[in-house]
Amino acid sequence: MNARKLVNETPTVVGMLTASLQSGGSVDTAVRAVSESGPGQSMELFQKAVRLADTKGCPSVVSGLTGVLEGLPEEASGYSRAVLLSLSAAESSDADSRDAMLRDSAGMALDAVRELGESYGASLTIPCMTVFGLGIIVPMIMMSIIPMLNIGGMFGSASIDQSLIALTTLALIPSVILAVALMIRSRNPFLDGGWDPKDLRYALPLLVSVPLGLLFPMVSDDQSLLFVFALAPACVATALLMADVIHLERSRRACEQSMMGAVFDIGNRMLAGSNFESAVVGSLRSSETTSALADGISREFALCRGDVRDALSKSISPVSAEMCMTMDDIYVCSTKDNNDAGEMAMTLGRQFQSRMVTQRDLSTRLKSTTDMMLATAMFFAPMVLGMSVSMLEPLSRIAGYVSMENSSVILEVYLVELSALISVLLSSLGQDNSVARMIWGFCIICPVSLLVFTACILIG
């Protein structure tokens, strides 16, 4: 079990427990709700506790969950404390004390995530510096400085094994960078979802580069222009075709964030006397980001014939499964007591707002790292390598030395590989880990990198 991802799920789990307990459910019901529809790592953990209770392996679900939590590693201690405090709140007979303990549990959950984010951000320094050094310094040494030293006779009469240099540049260095990227990805607790192979269909327009490459000899004999001629247009075409997909995903995420911010207002409206349906539609309609969603929910409410939960599922689940579950919990509570549902919505709304602030802080912390990686792939690496090649050629002619054959082509292949690797790395640093996002990143980085490299060679 990944302790980092478990800690990242803490606010969601505490929110689910809070929703169930504040709607009048028992602690047994709350634990079973998480075991059935909670986030991945927590669902597995809570299912283990439920199985222990159902098979008489422990006296109750609470004791089973307590035992499971005690077995977690020290890294997940924040998760254990927050969940145990939520369970303790269920035992309180005083409503005010219970609500205060649940608020403390929510704050503890957010503190755990904040500490996790700070730890993760601090751990990125060495891996990112490794990528920076491997991505620029080592290829420059392999392709430029070592041949220059050979020109000066530093290696005597022995010639450099050019195939070994090419193999190191095109295979060994990218392999190490890929290993670092995958390591960073495995340690990122904030990634949502996995890689969907279906997204590979977005890369099909890149195949246009093959016929363009075959046509290139008819256009020019300069091999340094091959990838700019063949791959750059294919990347631009792919990015244009994917623009709508990326825009829709950004809109979905913005809508989800706006819904999280609206939960508090929904609770406030319900306490003011509005029923659940009116509060949801009115609150979402007040924001431009969610106004279209509000219209869709309103239509579903009108057509659902009383099945409000089905209407919520049809209208909200395509935008956010978590928000659909939250709205469903608030609705179920409202069927028993509208004021209690309003109080629960306000509590959950405060949790969502605090979580969004925490996530924004984490994104700000990581921005300098992601900007450095992007600048490395798009500008620094192609600029340094391009200038190195442009200086090597005249020095070789002056010294009567034959430079490496097709050195510019080898470096162009390397820059294509680096663009792909950096796009994987950037997606591993953020929250969107989809294949579509990686393809989009590659199609943005690669053409710019190739153009900068080619311009540096031509200028030199």
Percentage of residues of the chain with pLDDT beyond 70: 90
**How much is the pLDDT for 321?**
84
- Split at pLDDT 50, 70, 90, the class of 426 is confident
The per-residue pLDDT for 269 is 92
Is residue 92 predicted with pLDDT exceeding 70?
A: yes
Q: How many angstroms separate the CA atoms of 369 and 124, rounded?
A: 8
Contact 301, 312 (CB under 8 A): no
Reported as a single tens digit per residue, the pLDDT across 252-291 is: 888 998 998 899 899 999 988 888 999 999 999 988 889 8
Per residue in 100-139, pLDDT (tens digit) is 888 888 888 888 888 887 787 778 778 878 887 787 777 7
C-alpha 460/C-alpha 455 separation (Å) is: 8
- Tokens 């060495």 locate to 126
Determine the angle formed by the axes of helices 77-90 and 61-70, rounding to 10 degrees.
160
Tell me the two tokens of residue 388. 């190195």
69, 86 Cβ separation under 8 angstroms = no
Would you place residue 143 in the very low, low, confident or very high pLDDT band (cuts 50, 70, 90)? low
Segment 370-412, tens digit of pLDDT = 888 888 888 888 888 888 777 766 655 555 554 555 678 888 8
DSSP letter at 73 equals -
pLDDT at 46 over 70: yes
Q: What is the mean pLDDT of residues 431-447?
A: 87
Instruction: Tell me how far apart the alpha carbons of residues 211 and 456 are, in angstroms, rounded to a whole number.
Output: 26
Q: Two tokens at 394?
A: 């005249």
Mean pLDDT of the chain: 82
Neighbours of 366 (CB within 10 A): 19
Burial-class residue 236 by CB neighbours within 10 Å (0-12, 13-18, 19+): middle
Cα gap 423→420, rounded to integer Å? 5
